Amino acid sequence: MSTKLLGSIAEGDGSPAAFVRIFGWINLMIMAAYILNGILTFWFGFPGVLSLFGIGKPGGSTTLALIQTAIYIGAIALAIYVVSATPDRTLRRDAAIISDANRFLVRCAFWVVFLIGLSDATVSFARVEGFLPGLVGDEWAIALGKSQIRGMYIHVPVMLLGILIGAVTRSLGFIWLALLVVIAELAIVFSRFVFSYEQAFMGDLVRFWYAALFLFASAYTLLEDGHVRVDVFYANFRRETRGRVNTIGSVMLGMTFCWTILLVGMWGHSSIIISPILVFETTQTGFGMYVKYFMAGFLGIFAVTMMIQFVSYFFESWADKRGEPGHREHDAVEP
């Protein structure tokens, strides 16, 4: 660790606020390690870190458990390295970098949700109307009625395509989901009252896109400070006092809330996020869309993007608390 960084840690309140940066980056890196270990545990059969203490998967490989433990240790070391390698980076610069990364995640999520919605609704429509045998043959027509087959052979490739599109384009984002929800709902109205036609997948598409809009938009709203406040005293506070309030709120309420969702939702095979994804859970309508497990995953994406944005907000708030220049005004922000 550089001498300059050690000096800033010793001072505690001098630029670049190393303690604050390390705390924020450790939160992000530990979250990434937690998700990676969840994937290794639930999809690749790793025993989990707690198996070292006799908790969780019995008879699991000690070597694999040690690898998962090393992932957490490496995450903490990487967070410290990021801070030590950039001793002159300001809190506001860190906040901007983190927010830009979050924009990328949400943009990819938009394309995934958009393409999955269209593709699954198309397959569901063809299945309801009996077109699938003529399009893909009898064997595949039966197979696409199984959630595991549709998930692996339709959803996964389309999801990868959505991530690729999100990585190379910045032209569209989740805001367009609002328009897509309106279009999907309008299509239901026209088909029901004009053509007397309605199927379960049509309502599923509206709920699928609306859930994504609500959950993915939360991080963007936090970025633009657009969440509703029950404001009794806050508006009359000085900027430094607001920064102090927002700093405490980001940690005690925001990050804690996100960690609660991740821990409760991804702790075990029967958890509310992991369980539906493992079995490609669907609704009981039969001929609706097969995306219920995706909507469980939305809760995980919500927690991840909000955690990232809360860390960014934490950095910005601490910079306000210290009276640093560069404060962003949100009153006239364009969407």
Q: Are 159 and 113 in contact (CB under 8 A)?
A: no
Q: Are 289 and 205 in contact (CB under 8 A)?
A: yes
Q: Residue 242: what pLDDT?
A: 84
Q: Where are the alpha helices (DSSP H) in 86-224?
A: 91-128, 132-136, 138-143, 147-150, 156-168, 176-193, 200-223
3-state SS class at 257: helix
* 65 located within any domain: yes
pLDDT at 6 over 90: no
Measured torsion, CA atoms of residues 106, 110, 112, 118, in degrees rounded to the nearest 10:
170
Q: Would you give the DSSP letter of residue 331?
A: T
Residues 6 or more apart whose CB falls under 8 angstroms from that of 108 comprise: 162, 163, 165, 166, 167
| Mean pLDDT confidence for 5-13 | 37
Q: Which two tokens stand for residue 310?
A: 């809360």
Backbone angles phi, psi at 131, to 5 degrees: -85, -20
Q: Residue 325: what pLDDT?
A: 78
| Mean pLDDT confidence for 5-11 | 37
Q: Are 178 and 140 in contact (CB under 8 A)?
A: no
What confidence category does residue 229 fall into, taking pLDDT thresholds of 50, 70 and 90? Answer: low
* 171 located within any domain: no
| Mean pLDDT confidence for 22-44 | 96
> Over the chain, what is the mean pLDDT?
86
Dihedral-angle region of residue 323 (phi above 0 means left; psi in -120 to 50 means alpha; beta otherwise): left
Which range has the worst mean pLDDT, 94-103, 118-127, 240-249?
240-249
* 104 located within any domain: no
Residues 6 or more apart whose CB falls under 8 angstroms from that of 169 comprise: 107
Q: Residue 216: what pLDDT?
A: 85
The CA–CA distances, whole Å, from 244 to 6, 21, 232, 319 equal 24, 16, 16, 9
Which range has the worst mean pLDDT, 54-63, 90-99, 105-114, 182-191?
54-63
| Mean pLDDT confidence for 65-86 | 96
Q: Residue 177: what pLDDT?
A: 86
* 149 located within any domain: no
Backbone angles phi, psi at 226, to 5 degrees: -100, 0
| pTM listed for this prediction | 0.87
What confidence category does residue 183 fall into, taking pLDDT thresholds of 50, 70 and 90? Answer: very high
* 134 located within any domain: no
For 56-119, the DSSP string reads: SSTT--HHHHHHHHHHHHHHHHHHHHHHHH-TT--HHHHHHHHHHHHHHHHHHHHHHHHHHHHH
The CA–CA distances, whole Å, from 216 to 79, 98, 135, 273, 309 equal 26, 16, 35, 16, 12
Q: Residue 5: what pLDDT?
A: 41
Domain residue limits at 33: 1-89
Tens-place pLDDT, residues 247-277: 999 999 999 999 999 999 999 989 999 999 9
What confidence category does residue 182 fall into, taking pLDDT thresholds of 50, 70 and 90? Answer: very high
Q: How many domains does the chain have?
A: 1
Tens-place pLDDT, residues 293-318: 999 999 999 999 999 999 999 999 99
* 38 located within any domain: yes
Q: Percentage of residues in the chain with pLDDT exceeding 70? A: 87
pLDDT at 30 over 60: yes
SS (H, E, C) 6-53: HHHHHHCCCCCCHHHHHHHHHHHHHHHHHHHHHHHHHHHCCCCHHHHH
pLDDT at 335 over 60: no
* 5 located within any domain: yes
Q: Check residues 90 and 285 and name the one with the higher pLDDT.
A: 90
- CA angle, 173 then 111 then 131, to 5°: 135
Q: Check residues 303 and 175 and name the one with the higher pLDDT.
A: 303
Amino acid at position 60, single letter = G
What confidence category does residue 289 fall into, taking pLDDT thresholds of 50, 70 and 90? Answer: very high
The CA–CA distances, whole Å, from 334 to 32, 109, 158 equal 31, 21, 31
Q: Check residues 189 and 283 and name the one with the higher pLDDT.
A: 189
pLDDT at 1 over 80: no
* 273 located within any domain: no
Q: Residue 3: what pLDDT?
A: 38
Tens-place pLDDT, residues 97-106: 999 999 899 8
Q: Residue 172: what pLDDT?
A: 60
